[in-house]
Amino acid sequence: MRNLIILFLLLPLLSISQDEKPNERIVVDDFIQKYNSQDYEGIFSLFSDQLKEELPYEEISNSLRSLTANLGQVTNSDFLEFRKPGMIEVTVLPVIRIGLNRNNFSSYKINFNKNELRLDISIDREDKIYNISLDEIVDETLEEKAINNLTDDKNIISEKQKELIFDASKHLPNEGQMSFAFIRNGEVSYYGLKRTNDSISSFENFKNVFEIGSISKVFTSNIFASFILQDKVGLDDNINDYLDYDIKDNSLISFKSLANHTSGLPRLPNNLKASYSREKSNVYKKEDLDIYIKDSLEINSKTKGKFVYSNLAVGLMGYVLSKIENVGFDKLYKTYIFSKYNMDNTTIDSRKSNELLIKGLSNTGNELENMYLDALAPAGSVISSVEDLAKYGLAQFDNSNNDLELIRRKTFKLNNRVSLGLGWFILKAKKNIWFNHDGNTGGYSSSMFIDVENKNGVIILTNVDTEYTSNLGLRLMKSLY
């Protein structure tokens, strides 16, 4: 989940400066006019049918209301550049940025009352918005200013790995950090770095904790697997049987469909009043989730049974599991995961963090408050270190661990290269099978890859929400072979 950002189907692209496109300027001006008049339905009408299906109106309107509340109205806009898609390696990974943008798009600097953001937009042949994102305007000279002061320790990283790491880290702002765990044939080594001004230097941070975002979903599925093996629930049971009230319209929702994102639920509930906000007053309470389930929940019949990534789905699954056990999230996750695997510095409640916590940063280097999702905490509120995550990674190699074996079983085939287990994404990488999950929050990003057969793995945590982390994890994983 991201802070004050509407982010749709967008991957890293190659910039090519050209003149502004008149049709896109018309759409941008229309977007701004509707935004300033808070005509969110009008903005939704500007979207293509595909984008409307990807992002329901409730999610868009919540995000825009939050944007208005925090940044105010748009005062003016300036065209920056025209871009075309670059030649990129397409990988379906569990982050908000999924799919490939095949359209050209234009970038604008949008000035609000309280800040300025970069708007990237592309339109189809009918002048409907096909892709759109609002993000911070980053100092584009960060990359060229970066100085590589990473140490040479060939017992930990090779020259190729050091080159890959530097290439990804040179986009970090000042005080940005990356923390790594490498698992080779069941043996763990750690590496870390920090940017201080323009110098990117090695830095020991393997015990420090970061928000891990959606990697939390693997732990939630792990608890579900434990419940199955203890006969507390069945794999194909519906959550309806474990609630003390009726779900709206008596819609049937299975635990398995929540775990593998095929439930037909949207990304977020429509009564999340301040989407992506870190204001403590806007925490999504458990009573809000109860109200949503009873009064507002809707299953999309077009997407039910298909993969649609949903924070709501996994958050709801964890919420029901805690109801079954009749304990809070903190005790539930500590009992079933953190204590079991000696993850001493890991918690699902950032409010219980200590001096080991690395503060999250915006892409421009501003320090951000840590976010606790409360009712939706099972979807992304865990904070952890690469040391603790490596313990969990090593546990995957224990063939007698039935909980972990169960969450790695394929439950849904997305395409010929990607399937889903319970929590994990299962990737075919030539002759190898990799289990993966990534995470992004406003201020952090993470990536975790595990190869059970070869006992290899890569774990990355960083205190900046950067698009480079998941791709770096993929490349570092390949470098182990």
Pair (239, 100) in one structural domain:
no
Residue-level pLDDT at 10: 31
**Strands 147-149 and 199-202: what pairing?**
parallel
> Pairing between strand 187-196 and 412-413?
unpaired
Residue 50 to residues 53, 130, 258, Cα–Cα distance (Å): 5, 8, 23
> Tell me, what's the pLDDT at 18?
58
CATH number at residue 426: 3.40.710.10
Sheet of strand 177-184: strand arrangement: 147-149, 199-202, 187-196, 177-184, 456-462, 444-451, 432-441, 425-429, 418-420, 412-413
Q: Is residue 423 part of a domain?
A: yes
Which residue type does 336 have?
Answer: Y
Do the domain assignments include residue 160?
no
Are residues 321 and 238 part of one domain? yes
- What's the pLDDT at 12? 34
Block means of pLDDT (10 residues each) for the chain, length 481 residues?
A: 36 46 90 95 93 80 82 91 51 31 74 87 90 80 92 85 95 96 97 96 97 97 98 97 95 97 91 55 81 94 92 97 97 98 93 87 87 89 97 97 97 94 94 95 94 97 91 95 89
Among candidate residues 177, 180, 178, 176, the one with its CA nearest the CA of residue 190: 180
Same domain, yes or no, for 440 and 318?
Answer: yes
State whether 127 and 271 are in the same domain: no
Is 179 inside a domain boundary? no
Q: Is residue 312 part of a domain?
A: yes
Write down the pLDDT at residue 159.
92
Q: Which residue pairs from 195-203 have beta carbons closer than 8 angstroms and sit at least 24 positions apart in sequence?
A: 195/146, 195/169, 198/145, 198/146, 198/147, 199/147, 199/149, 200/146, 200/147, 200/148, 200/149, 200/150, 200/166, 200/169, 200/170, 200/172, 201/149, 201/150, 201/151, 202/149, 202/150, 202/151, 202/153, 203/177
Q: How many CA atoms lie within 13 A of 252 on its CB side?
A: 6
Per-residue CA distances from 452 to 325, 404, 426, 449 (Å) = 30, 11, 11, 10
The SS3 call for residue 28 is helix
Strand partners, 371: none
396-403 long-range contacts, CB within 8 A, separation 24+? 396/435, 396/450, 396/452, 397/186, 397/452, 397/455, 402/225, 402/229, 403/222, 403/225, 403/226, 403/229
Alpha-carbon distances, residue 163 vs 87, 103, 150, 167, 178 (angstroms):
20, 31, 9, 6, 14
The pLDDT of residue 51: 86
- Distance, in Å, from the CA atom of 69 to the CA atom of 277, rounded to the nearest integer, reads 10
DSSP string, 233-282: S-TT-BGGGG-SSPPGGG---BHHHHHTT-S---SS-TT-TTTT---GGG
Task: Tell which of 119, 136, 153 closes a domain.
Answer: 136
pLDDT attached to residue 3? 37
Residues 315 and 450 in one domain: yes
Residues 279 and 408 in one domain: yes
216 with 101, same domain: the answer is no
The DSSP string of 342-387 is T-TT-BS-GGG--TTBPPPB-TTS-B------GGGGGGT--EE-HH
At residue 362, the pLDDT reads 87
Q: What are phi and psi of 80, to 5 degrees?
A: -105, -60
The number of folded domains in the chain is 2
- Same domain (yes/no): 267, 394: yes
pLDDT of res. 84: 60
- The whole model's pTM is what? 0.83
CA distance 171 to 139: 9
Within this chain, do residues 111 and 216 fall inside the same structural domain, yes or no? no
Cα angle vertex 117, ends 111, 120, to 5°? 115
End-to-end CA distance of the chain: 33
Contact indicator for 405, 396 with CB cutoff of 8 Å: no
**Cβ-based neighbour number of residue 329 at 10 Å:** 24
Total Cβ atoms within 10 A of residue 120: 21
Residue 323 belongs to a domain: yes
Cβ–Cβ < 8 Å for 156, 136: no
Residue that terminates a domain, selected from 109, 136, 163: 136
Of the candidates 136, 152, 167, which is a domain's last residue? 136
For residues 222 and 310, state if they share a domain: yes
Residue 17: its pLDDT value, please?
A: 43
Which residues span the domain enclosing 110? Answer: 14-136
Residue 449 lies in a domain: yes
Tally Cβ neighbours within 10 Å of residue 98: 18
In a domain, 205, yes or no: no
Element (H, E) at 478: helix 468-479
Residue 109 and residue 237 in one domain: no
Q: What is the pLDDT of residue 172?
A: 95
Q: How far apart are CA 373 and CA 380, in angstroms?
A: 8
In a domain, 162, yes or no: no
Specify the pLDDT at position 90.
30
CATH number, residue 33: 3.10.450.590
Q: Is 268 in contact with 312 (CB distance < 8 Å)?
A: yes
Both 313 and 451 in a single domain? yes
From CA 446, how far away is CA 216, in angstroms rounded? Answer: 11
